[in-house]
Structure 1
């Protein structure tokens, strides 16, 4: 049997839901017993006593039929409503938790796999709550009620039910134990297949250019075949469980029928009582058959819940207390003192003994080879990661004591590859400042050099961007990202070389816009190009997770160290960055 207590705890008002199902099952037990009793009395009177049925008996029988149908309908409606609510709550909690975990978690997970959990995994809980759980509660309540009544009216039939009922449950448990690993493998393959499809779609242009579409198609086919094979194994187990339960229930009913028939022939039992027991026996085994039909849904729901909890059990590197006051909203300085950080999947520290200061109205450039720790340094600064050792101070206040949401409000970030959502240009810009007026948006776009090309779009600012703005050029995307930073007007600015991989004309426009954006801000830029490094007031040279050199460009060149060697060898830092 698969009941996830944690899954129920995530759902609101779950106790009311369970209580309602128990109440419906108790009412159903009373209605079923009364219905079978009335039916046995009517048949006995008509066929054995040659008496016409009583009017009140027919009315009561009709009422029990209506009541039974009504109880089934209300129970299903209640379960469906609850399932919709639970799925909605779970998706919201999953998404909120993923936001709390931040980019450091999503970078280590396959995007397709996460989408499969949030969408397909949560959706699998629909049958779990609408079919499996009601059937399970019905099994727990109805058969015991019938057994108690059967023991009272005919102890021998009651004993057969008492023995065979738990035996069927034991068979179900055995099958469930066997099928559990298969169902978990099914979910692993589904995540793998989702990731494979997503990778293929996102890299479709690359596959076409390099003529690798046939090879990738073979990979997708192989992944699909693995998923199909495991699905067939799970279905075979589901069909086998249904057959075993049906066979066990049929044999049990036959046992009751045989012993009742023998006693009727021997005159040891009244016909009406024997008929009542024979009518009641299939009703006793009906919940077992119903659960057998939905047992596969229970296994899939349990497997989906396991994957959901793998995500919800993941925790940020450290808890943020948020007990200190807020730093001022201008002239922000950051002090790193012996800061270290190690990713959970690695034994090697990504950063070690980082000590530096970022001053207000100052541009600090970070340079270094790929894997030297530059992006980790920026993530620590943004609060996406929490330092494993040392301390980061913001205007004298420990960063881990600031409210994370308030701190993020003080930061604007322009990544090298900005992301845009499938909504209008205006809505994408307003993500930075939802309360901004139309004039503020226009001004931010003009400062970023984006206003003119936005007006040339079919609907201007109301133009709907396709997925990640695929129809815009790299330079246009960067200008929109810079416009968002202007609109947010945050005192702390983090840039990941916005001019990288652009044509000279676009690079010039971006450089002009960036120059305006830097004014009166505490700015950190992950620099790839020598032009960018020249503009910096202070340069931090990273190597193997440490700051090995720091200072202005001229002083670093005079030190004849790593910085000077790279500048003379390559003329820039492009191609060796994160």
Structure 2
């Protein structure tokens, strides 16, 4: 059970497999030497020719055998360990490199939980496959041939019978493999599905508690866990049954060989010493393959895991291009752009839009109209669009992704803040930023005063900065964005949403100041925030229904005006006429 592509992928680890087999083979030769030495000693005893010299030589030989086998065991364990380390390093590097090549849009092709599971449990299975199964496979082929060559000189008939019985074990393995392959494929699918559910429920645990839906989700996970338990038990049952079959074949074959050796002895075709050698070494024909059989489920798991790994490695890579953006002219142009997340569900339906350099452009519209999709396309997160998008005259598809990330920065309302300190989070934007520069951007977003009451930029943050308020988190994310140098285009996707009015005003003041020197694309559900925009695009059902300045749109007396007036009426409700 060897997958050629897998061997080629991990070609660097082949040398450790060879070393492991070599040390196992030397250990076998030492064991054969020990058996022949002991049977020779018994022969001297039976013939009454035993001398002190025989005892001394036997003792020294056996001592040497013990030293050799101990050394071989140590070296075999070491090379096996080196193989496992090498395999884990290479595979995880390959998966990580693939994620880097897929870039920001990787989650369009594979879920994060599947990548994590394959990189951990899947790689662990292949580590055992390389460090245990493959060396044992090659040794299982070498050992019976070595024993046959040596024992055939003692008695050809008994040795030949033992050698002929050896292939019965791999035949039984092949028979089990046909059933096991489908079973283990289902096992891995169930395992990754359970992992997806667990990760999702863990991340949404607070929401589940709020809606008291945690019990329902726990019951669903119980059902998935029960399904996983059942298929795991099927795998274990298959493994135990295959081991039982291999035990019968192995020990049955050894018994046949021993019987033939005894018959040969009774017919006078072999002496007592030769008979004992064959009896003592008969099981060695089968034990390597028997041990290989116990690794069979590991090999099958490894094959199933490799399928998952190759599924990820085979994801087509969309070239990010080689073009570098100019710092002088970064006008952005959308022409008849279409995009679909799923077949038959078009999100963008022919978008035409212009973002001149150093302009303040806003995208507005009801939820689900495609605003965030446009932001994702510009930031390189959503690929597979049709139509033309150019940045400074260069097609977006031809722009190098690293250079795109350098010039265009996407800030969402839930931008991720990492566990650590405020300084560590800020340094992600500029590793060489001075403390004065960090304090300056914190001052701009009115966060420095609060942090100074704590530990300043050394203030520790919990996971997702859960020890800060929502407004503070969004202001810190904006400060980090402001610290990033060379950014030409800022995309703010609801960066001032779901927070208090005071925080919203602070963030909008920063955005207005930023729009004086940078291109700003603001996506906002609150139309009061976009009034000062140079140009506003109103999206509806994936299409731009209206566009222009706030005054122009109000004069059109269309959907924008109706939505704006509805929002203003709602915000002003109760403010007038109160006593």
Alignment partner, residue 366 of structure 1:
363
Instruction: Say whether 1:337 aligns with 2:335.
Output: yes
Mean CA deviation greater in 423-432 or 559-568: 559-568
Any conservation in 1 of the 2:361–2:534 contact (CA below 8 Å)? yes
**Cα offset for 1:568?**
4.5
Alignment of 1:226-375 (within 5 A): 226-316=227-317, 318-322=318-322, 324=323, 326-343=324-341, 345-375=342-372
The answer for the alignment partner of 2:574 in structure 1 is none
Equivalent positions of 1:504-515 (< 5 A) are 504-515=501-512
Please identify, of 141-150 and 468-477, the stretch whose mean Cα deviation from structure 2 is larger.
141-150
Matching of residues 67-466 of structure 1 within 5 Å:
67-106=68-107, 109-316=110-317, 318-322=318-322, 324=323, 326-343=324-341, 345-457=342-454, 459-466=455-462
Q: Deviations over 1:94-113 (max 9, x none)?
A: 23423433454426755444
> Residues of 2 paired with 1:402 and 1:273: CA distance?
77
Greater displacement, 132-141 / 543-552: 543-552
Taking the TM superposition and a 5 Å limit, the aligned residue runs for 1:37-76 are 37-48=36-47, 50-52=49-51, 53=54, 55-76=56-77
Residue equivalent to 1:475: 471
- Of 369-378 and 239-248, more deviation after overlay is shown by 369-378
1:105-136 Cα deviation digits (max 9, x unpaired):
42675544443222222233332233222222
Report the 3-state secondary structure (helix = DSSP H, G, I; strand = E; otherwise coil) of the residue aligned with 1:535: coil
1:24 alignment counterpart: 23
Q: For the structure 1 residues 537 and 49, does the alpha-carbon distance in structure 2 shift closer, same or farther, using more than 3 Å as the test?
A: farther
Q: 1:549 and 1:363 mapped to 2: Cα distance? A: 17
Secondary structure at the counterpart of residue 460 of structure 2: coil
Matched with 2:522 is 525
Per-residue CA deviations over 1:349-396 (Å, capped at 9, x if unaligned) read: 433433322111111112233333222222221123335433322222
- Post-superposition shift, 1:477? 0.6
Measured after TM superposition, the shift of residue 331 of structure 1 is: 4.7
Partners in 2 of 1:124 and 1:176 — Cα distance?
Answer: 17
- Alpha-carbon distance change, 572 to 423 in structure 1, aligned in 2, over 3 angstroms: farther
Contact 1:475–1:510, Cα closer than 8 Å, also in 2? no
- 1:167-201 CA-partner distances (Å, limit 9, x unpaired): 11011122222122222222222222223322332
Change (3 A) 1:58 1:560: same
Cα gap change, 1:572 to 1:494, in 2 (>3 Å): farther
Report deviation, 1:573: 12
CA deviation vs aligned residue, 1:524-551 (integer Å, no higher than 9, x gap): 1222111222122112233343333332
* CA distance in 1: counterparts of 2:420 and 2:91, whole angstroms: 25
Distance in 2 of aligned mates of 1:425 and 1:384: 26
**What runs of 5+ residues in structure 2 fail to find an aligned partner?**
572-579
Is structure 2 residue 487 aligned with structure 1 residue 486? no
Q: Deviation per CA, 1:253-294, whole angstroms, max 9, x where unpaired?
A: 000011111111221212222222222221121111211222
Aligned CA-pair RMSD:
2.6
Distance 1:250 1:547 in 2: 78
Residues 224 and 348 of structure 1, relative CA distance in 2, 3 Å threshold: closer
CA offset at residue 565 of structure 1?
4.4
1:212-256 deviations in Å (ceiling 9; x for gaps): 232222222222222222211111111112221111100000000
Mean Cα displacement is larger for which, 405-414 or 547-556? 547-556
Any conservation in 1 of the 2:333–2:389 contact (CA below 8 Å)? yes
Q: TM-score, normalised by structure 2?
A: 0.91
Seen in structure 2, the aligned counterparts of structure 1 residues 444 and 51 have a Cα distance that, compared at 3 Å, is: same
Q: Structure 1 length as normaliser, TM-score?
A: 0.91
Q: 1-side partners of 2:515 and 2:43: how far apart?
A: 95
- Greater CA deviation, 436-445 or 30-39? 30-39
Using a 3 Å threshold, how does the CA distance of structure 1 residues 269 and 448 change in structure 2: closer, same or farther?
same
Alignment match, 1:9: 8
